[in-house]
Amino acid sequence: MRKIYCILIALFICLFTTLPHAQSVDIKSAFADAEKQTNLMLIEIPAAKHAKPELVSPRTLNSNGELVLTPSLRWTSGFFPGELWYLYEYTGNKKWEEQAKAFTGNIEKEKYNNASHDVGFKVYCSFGNGYRLTKDEHYREVIIQAAKTLSTRFSPTIGVIKSWDTMPKWHYPVIIDNMLNLELLFEATKLSGDSSFYKIAVSHANTTLRNHFRKDFSCYHVVDYDSTTAGNIIKKGTQQGYADESAWARGQAWAIYGYTMCYRETKDPTYLKQAENVARYILNNPTMPTDLVPYWDFNAPNIPNEPKDASAAACMASGLYELSTYSKNGKIYKKAADKMMESLTKNYRSPIGENKGFILLHSTGAKPNNSEVDVPLPYADYYYLEALLRAKKIKEGKKLF
């Protein structure tokens, strides 16, 4: 087994040392373009509200090219505020800080919303970035309250946070996406001194590591547990991927990003190794295109005639940049992230002044439901800007955290 593992590592290294070096993305230019698009988005949002104050953040474009907004309760509501914080972080322009504060404030009530695990996505991407950049004491309080809310979904018996309540197909579903919400819990422990949040995050990460991954380190989207027992597994499957045994691309992105973040917060080498294993699966996958922007599912049946998922590539790139700062294979991971960002910047961005201000095109939300296929999505833009900031810090020799 160890011999096979060493062979795979050697092949992995060989593959990426022979790839042509990606051209460096002009980060200054990319952010300037992002500012132009976001200025357009700020004009389009009021026009799309139609006197519906519950609509707070961009979601996508519909088939007529019209801007679709989302209420604060939906899982994507925190990404646009996060984008605004990233623009402020890069530029220092108070305009972006003011807009970030306004859009962040629109979703504050989500700190009490325990209807799903998504409180982490909503609050950490917005208030988390806001606190990191401003140290606003109120933001600190919101983060801690949101962590308390998320903690109510944790089962000590099963050892994981339940993802959904309203999906009759599943009994106690836990999705790989949930790994990203653990960052809220780690931060809440640092801000409050309450170690219960940290312990819940570690328990969830460990249980997910045991149960969500196949032998090749691809991951299932959903693991369904029996809450009436000590966490027996009922089923492993998917909600947004091609098939139960396929590798949904964004799920693999959540996995590499999530376990890299868990290593950062705990320094547990098990998490670093898992992130490296997932990276190897992604980057060695025979269906990964040469531009390193994956199809929506690595096992989709009609590759290469399948939709791409720019959101998966943006999240992967951001995760790989961070992983490159911890791993002995760091040069490989950075090279792959650079290639992803070069591809996204050259071939997946919206023309300036179009698409209501979204930055990236060609993402896929949930293809099995024919929902948001080959469209712009806010989390693609969020992780793209995050990856640009991480690339900048690495280039300047600065620590990411």
Catalytic hit among 26, 33, 177, 297: 177
Catalytic hit among 26, 118, 226, 268: 118
Unique residue bearing structure tokens 């098990």: 270
Contacts of 249 (CB under 8 A, 6+ apart): 294, 295, 296, 297, 298, 309, 312
Contact 61, 67 (CB under 8 A): yes
Contacts of 7 (CB under 8 A, 6+ apart): none
DSSP state letter for 178: G
Contact 110, 77 (CB under 8 A): yes
Q: What whole-number distance in Å separates Cα of residue 395 and Cα of residue 157?
A: 45
Provide the b/e sequence for 4-39 (b: ≥16 CB within 10 Å): eeeeeeeebeeebeeeeebeebebeebbebbbebbe
What is the residue type of 170?
W
At 278, list the tokens. Answer: 């997932």
If 0-12 CB within 10 Å is exposed, 13-18 middle and 19+ buried, where does residue 227 land?
Answer: middle
DSSP state letter for 401: -
**Longest Cα pair distance anywhere in the chain, in angstroms?**
64
118 is catalytic: yes
Compute the chain's Rg from CA coordinates.
20
> Count H helices, E strands: the chain?
14, 9
The per-residue DSSP string of 222-251 comes to EEEE-TTTTS-EEEEE-SSSSSTTS-BHHH
Question: Which has the closest alpha carbon to 313: 386, 244, 370, 264?
Answer: 386
The per-residue DSSP string of 66-117 comes to -EEEEETTSTTTTHHHHHHHHHHHHH--HHHHHHHHHHHHTTGGGGG--SST
291 is catalytic: no
Please list the active-site residues.
118, 177
